[in-house]
Amino acid sequence: MQQVGAKGFANAQLVDPRQLPIPLSDLSRRARINFGHAWVLHRKIIVRAVAAGVVLFGVVGAYEAREAITAGAIAVSNMAQGEFARAGFGIAKINITGQVLTSEATILKALALEAGTSTLNFDADAALERIELIPSIKSATVRKIYPGELVVSVEEKVPMARWRIGDATYLVDENGGPVARDDGSFRELPLVVGEGAADDAMIMIRTLDRYPALTADLAALSRIGDRRWDLIFYSGLRVQLPESGVAQALNQLDMYQATGQLLDRDVNVIDMRVPGMVSLKLGDLANRAIADAAKAAKTKKPAAPVDADYETPAERAAEAKPQ
């Protein structure tokens, strides 16, 4: 350490240290030093944070510009469609085959064609999926024939019965699924009525097929409480079947019809809901006939008693004749 002599203090002045200025530090240099330390210690975290920020910025930007991007894509697609159509690839002919229950308008709606749609950009697979969602369609094919034709072939479900629920009547398939509204063209199909009737219809219909004598004048099958069936005949007769033991009840009813033509009699209701018992609700004509028979039985005069010792004149004459 160098010593300062008396001459060094010759020009010295008294100074208050608190009045001395504080020099500014180099902030940029300090920041670089701090960043260097952070980079060495936390490089992976910094890289991930920066990448996440970039992705977030991109997502936000795309979201803000989504309408413009969508509009641009649609405009480009429409322009391409129009160019393809003007080049001779516009769909000018549609050939639909196999439809009976399904209207052409329903199939055309499922195709979702627009003005200027071309065979090059038409999505046949998506159209096929929409067509097969139609309730009456079992399967279908959609083919593009270039330059401008579509060929649609459909196979429809087979209606097995008519189902009336409320004021509407539907055609149903073998699984009980509605196929189409009944327009009156399938009157030969069995009619089932009531909530839940379509689900169990085919089981009952196939069971009744074994009894032609019972179905000759049968108008409908009515589902009662989704538990049991009533047979309704055109004559107005109603046969109430049990919840269980339906086959036994039908066998019994078929026997009554074969031996006594029960279904042809003046009967309004045949109640077979209790196994082993049959009760009848008679019609007016049958009730009058029974009442008249009972009245006649009451007013008929009893026959005169016959005397065992009584002899007719011929018998007395024969006895009096000499032997």
Same domain, 295 and 275: yes
pLDDT value for 315:
63
b/e code 292-301 from CB counts within 10 Å (16+ = b): eeeeeeeeee
Q: Is residue 232 over pLDDT 50?
A: yes
The number of distinct structural domains making up the chain is 2
For residues 241 and 272, the answer to whether their CB atoms sit within 8 Å is yes
In a domain, 79, yes or no: no
Same domain, 171 and 241: yes
Same domain, 267 and 202: yes
Same domain, 135 and 246: no
Three-state secondary structure string covering 83-123: HHHHHHHECCEEEEECCCCCCHHHHHHHHCCCCCCECCCCC
- What's the rounded Cα separation, in Å, for the pair 128 and 133? 9
Q: Quick one: what percent of the chain has pLDDT higher than 90?
A: 54
Q: Which two tokens stand for residue 171?
A: 């055609």
Amino acid at 75: A
In a domain, 236, yes or no: yes
In a domain, 310, yes or no: no
pLDDT value for 1:
44
In a domain, 289, yes or no: yes
Q: Quick one: what percent of the chain has pLDDT higher than 70?
A: 65
- What's the rounded Cα separation, in Å, for the pair 124 and 84? 17
Q: Which two tokens stand for residue 75?
A: 């405009």
In a domain, 38, yes or no: no
Q: Is 22 or 235 the better-scoring residue by pLDDT?
A: 235
**Mean pLDDT (whole number) for 35-53:** 60
CATH number, position 267: 3.40.50.11690
Same domain, 244 and 230: yes
Same domain, 276 and 179: yes
CATH number, position 114: 3.10.20.310
Domain span at 124: 87-156
Same domain, 186 and 265: yes
Same domain, 224 and 139: no
Each residue's pLDDT tens digit, 248-300: 999 999 999 999 999 999 999 999 999 889 999 999 998 898 888 888 888 76
Q: Is 192 or 147 the better-scoring residue by pLDDT?
A: 192
In a domain, 259, yes or no: yes
In a domain, 24, yes or no: no
Same domain, 100 and 204: no
Q: Is residue 75 over pLDDT 60?
A: no
Same domain, 93 and 182: no
Same domain, 290 and 185: yes
In a domain, 49, yes or no: no
Q: Is residue 87 over pLDDT 90?
A: no
Banded model confidence at residue 138, pLDDT cuts 50, 70, 90: very high
Average pLDDT, the chain: 80
Banded model confidence at residue 145, pLDDT cuts 50, 70, 90: very high
Same domain, 148 and 239: no
Alpha helices in 112-227 (DSSP H): 124-131, 197-208, 212-215
- Through-space distance between the first and last CA atoms of the chain, rounded to whole angstroms: 202
Q: Is residue 160 over pLDDT 90?
A: yes
Q: Is residue 88 over pLDDT 70?
A: no
